Amino acid sequence: MASVSAFHVCVVGLGSMGMGAAKSCVRAGLQTYGIDLNEAARAELKQAGAADVAADAAGFAEKLDAVLLLVVNAAQCKAVLFGDNALAPKLKPGTAVMVSATISAEEARSIEAGLKEHGLLMLDAPVSGGAAKAAAGDMTVMAAGSAETFAKLRPLLDAVAGKVYEIGVEIGLGATVKIIHQLLAGVHIAAGAEAMALAARAGIPLDLMYDVVTNAAGNSWMFENRMKHVVDGDYSPKSAVDIFVKDLGLVTETGRTLKFPLPLASTAYTMFANASNAGYGKLDDSAVIKTFAGIDLPDRSKS
């Protein structure tokens, strides 16, 4: 394997997760490139020490050993790889593509088939941990792919991940594990919002309710993280309502495919869909609480 400093990786999608992952690659000594349509994001990564940044990879694709896709959905993955100004044909055969968007198992297999046509390797590798863990190079990766692909991507995985779960060889297994994880994440946020809404209706100060729960058995990571946004009245998006409309949609679709009932996930999906329909889709996912009527919530924008 080439030395770390000779390993060339491109991160596609410099949002909160992608930016953190790209900066982690820079810190690890990888030759790091970034693709994003946002000029400010490109400038930020360049300032952090990236080898190059651009709106597309035409200028450096042939140098790359690996690509990390941290875009929103399968449609964006396919647009980057196979759409107008497609990246896949520009990569040298044997380049490994780590697909880390939350997508269905079927879409993961479809992307792999497209990559194979260009002699490229794929790791089906969704991630979790949020912006903070991405920035620390401490994401959790749920990955499926061949031993060869894991080996080729080891410098990248070492740079961005605190824990890598090697789930199996079959593409789609990583996507499925992430979908099951998102079932829990979405239900926990929805349940936390319902609990805090009930506290508001009962006249319990929300900061007190938050303190009680986070020091008692009903706590969860999602409650502790997201309901703090409610207490602070701050709905600036860390992960938006519309992300969970998408992800819980994938959860319920997976249940339908397997003919398996998912009553809690279906209810949580409806809550997030209602929040999006009410105009809160671009707000932080904790804004699902805003769909409850008859309660007063903290609002930092009015302070």
What phi, psi does 205 have (nearest 5°)?
-55, 130
Ramachandran area for residue 171 (φ above 0: left; ψ -120 to 50: alpha; else beta): beta
Instruction: Give dist(CA 130, CA 121) in Å, integer.
Output: 26
Catalytic (active site) residue 178: yes
Instruction: Give dist(CA 185, CA 294) in Å, integer.
Output: 26
Residue 251, both tokens: 């959860």
Active-site residue, from 178, 238, 246, 302: 178
What phi, psi does 64 have (nearest 5°)?
-75, 140
Amino acid (1-letter code) at residue 238:
K
Write down the residue that tokens 């009962």 correspond to. Answer: 202
What residues act catalytically?
178
